[in-house]
Structure 1
């Protein structure tokens, strides 16, 4: 334990009293393996970024559109091109 009540394990992760897990770079893990940074964003193990409403953002453009809408638009364009051929 350190003075703020956090717990370190052998892999250098830090646990606080609410069961959250921090790594040495200040990121926060919950029990599902998701990662939170100090601004409340959520990362999963594949490097995707979630906000608190469960939307998915690319790590390069957090404030841009969610990835899901971008993917569906690309698919729709591809389908329409295929239909015209």
Structure 2
């Protein structure tokens, strides 16, 4: 059960960091959506104005750095392109 709690805590920290950043992105017409956490890989989708912004890589680096700082462990933020998948 200890392992499940650690995973839940990690996910909560990652979500909290992304949620802190989102108002700034939305103010500029963009957004960042958390898609999946798989070990040290965090998959996100940039939407709106963020998709075509020249600074999107810097935005991703900043989000990743903040997550690493909060978690105290290395993670890799991976941008995923495309429309959201339909859920069955």
Q: Which TM-score bucket, shorter chain as reference?
A: under 0.3
Q: Larger Cα Rg: Structure 1 or Structure 2? A: 1
Which gives a bigger RCO, structure 1 or 2 (Cα 8 Å, sep 6+)? 2
Q: TM-score, normalised by structure 1?
A: 0.25
Which structure's residues are more often strand, by fraction?
A: 2
Which structure's residues are more often helix, by fraction?
A: 2
Q: TM-score, normalised by structure 2?
A: 0.24
